[in-house]
Amino acid sequence: MVIRLADLAGRVGADLRGDGDLEITGVNGLREARAGDLSFLANPRYRPLVAATRASAVIVARDFEGDAPCALLVADHPDAAFARASEAFARPEPPLPPEGVHPSAVVDPSATVAAGARVGPGCVVEAGAVIGEGTVLRAQVYVGHEAVVGPACLLHPQVVIREHCRLGARVILHPGVVIGSDGFGYTADDRGVRTKVPQRGIVDIGDDVEIGAGTTVDRARFGATRILRGAKIDNLVQIAHNVVIGEDAVIVAQAGIAGSTVLGSRVIMAAQSGVAGHLEVGDDSVVMARGGVIKDIPPKSQVMGFPAVPQKEAKRAMVAAARLPEMREALQDLRRRVEALEPSRG
C-alpha cells in the first residue's frame, strides 16, 4: 500500500512540514525505519534517534525543536496519530473461521452455539456449554461442561475453559490461557501426606476482560474466583483460587496473586510483582515491578520492594543502603577519634 504524505497528514489530523508528495509505504520505529516508512517520536528519551533515522517522515509533538533529516507531521498526540497511521498500513486481520461448527470440532449435542458464533477446527465443546452470539473459538479451544462463554468473545487457539466457568461479553483470551484449573488446597496428616481439598467453585469473568498468553486462573474452593469488568491481564500471570480482581485493574506479566486476595478497582500490579493470600489492595493502588505485598494496602498507595512499603520509604531505604559502605568507614573513623580522646588504659 502507498499513501501520499499529505493524505496521511489529513487522515491523522497533523500539520505537514515537508514534501506532501512523498510516498509512504509503511510504519516503523525510529531505529528500524527505512526509506518509505513513517515513524514517530512520543517518548522524549528517543529524541536523539530522530536526527539519525532513515524514515521518510516522523510524527512529532507541537513542542518539537531541532533538526530532522526528513519530513515532519506535527500532531497534538504523536502516539495516537501514529496509531491511526498504523491502522492505514496494517495487514488485514486474518479471516475468521466460518460461522457455525467446523467439521473437525467436537461439540456435544446438548451444547448451545448461538447464531453467528464460530467454532473453529479441533475445538471441543462439552455437554451443556453455551457459546454466545458472534463469539469466535479460533481453533483447538476446550470449553468444559456447562461453561458459559458470552457474546462477541475471541478465544485464541488452545485456550482451556473448565466446567461451569463463566465469561461475559467481549472477553479476549490469548493462546494457552487456562480458566478454572483447581485451586491449590490440601490438608496434611501427621506424616505430611496431603489430601486434596475439593475445589468446587468456578471462575467468573466480567465484560471486556483481556487475558494474556499462558496465564492461569484457578477456580474457587467454593463460590467464585472473580475477574471484574474491564480488567486487563498480561502473559504468564497466576491468579489463585477465590481471588477478586477489581474493575479496570491491570496486571502485568509474571505477577502472581495468592488465594482469597482482593484487588480493588484500577489497581496496577507491575511485572513480576506478587501479593500474599487473604489481603486487600485498595482501589487505585500501584504495586511497582517486583513488589511483594504482605499486608493490606490502603487505596491510592504506591508501594515497592519486598516486603512492599510506600514508594518514598522504599527509596529512602535504597539510598541509605547504597551509602552503607561509606557509613562503615565513617564509623571506624569515629572510633579512632574517640579512642584518641579517651584516657589511656595502660
Looking at residues 118 to 147 of the shown chain, list those that interact with its own copies (rule: CB under 8 A). 120-122, 124, 126-127, 139-140, 142, 144-146
SS (H, E, C) the chain: CCEEHHHHHHHHCCEEECCCCCEECEECCCCCCCCCEEEECCCHHHHHHHHHCCCCEEEEECCCCCCCCCEEEEECCHHHHHHHHHHHHCCCCCCCCCCEECCCCEECCCCEECCCCEECCCCEECCCCEECCCCEECCCCEECCCCEECCCCEECCCCEECCCCEECCCCEECCCCEEEECCCCEEECCCCCEEECCCCCEEEECCCCEECCCCEEECCCCCEEEECCCCEECCCCEECCCCEECCCCEECCCCEECCCCEECCCCEECCCCEECCCCEECCCCEECCCCEECCCECCCCEEECCCCEEHHHHHHHHHHHHCHHHHHHHHHHHHHHHHHHCCCCC
Closest distance to its own copies from the beta carbon of 59 (Å): 12
Q: Stretches 7-15, 17-25, 59-67, 151-159: which one binds its own copies (CB under 8 A)?
A: 151-159
Grid coordinates of 151: 457474546
Q: Which residue has the cell 531541532?
A: 66
Q: Which is nearer to its own copies, 343 or 346 (CB)?
A: 343
225 counts as binding its own copies under rule CB under 8 A:
no
204 counts as binding its own copies under rule CB under 8 A:
no
Instruction: Answer whether 249's CB lies under 8 Å from 267's CB.
Output: yes
**How many residues make contact with its own copies (CB under 8 A)?**
113
Closest distance to its own copies from the beta carbon of 91 (Å): 6
317 counts as binding its own copies under rule CB under 8 A:
yes
Q: Which is nearer to its own copies, 187 or 344 (CB)?
A: 187
Closest distance to its own copies from the beta carbon of 228 (Å): 12
110 counts as binding its own copies under rule CB under 8 A:
no
194 counts as binding its own copies under rule CB under 8 A:
yes
Q: Which is nearer to its own copies, 104 or 112 (CB)?
A: 104
Closest distance to its own copies from the beta carbon of 132 (Å): 19
158 counts as binding its own copies under rule CB under 8 A:
yes
By CB under 8 A, the residues from 70 to 99 that bind its own copies are 80, 83, 86-87, 90-91, 94-95
Q: Stretches 9-17, 55-63, 66-74, 270-278: which one binds its own copies (CB under 8 A)?
A: 270-278
Grid coordinates of 295: 499486608
**Residues designated as active site:** 241
Closest distance to its own copies from the beta carbon of 297 (Å): 15
Binding its own copies by CB under 8 A: which of 81, 149, 240, 243? 240
- Which is nearest to 263 in space by CA: 274, 162, 165, 207? 274
Binding its own copies by CB under 8 A: which of 235, 282, 302, 310? 235
207 counts as binding its own copies under rule CB under 8 A:
no
Q: Stretches 1-9, 11-19, 63-71, 333-341: which one binds its own copies (CB under 8 A)?
A: 333-341
Closest distance to its own copies from the beta carbon of 84 (Å): 10
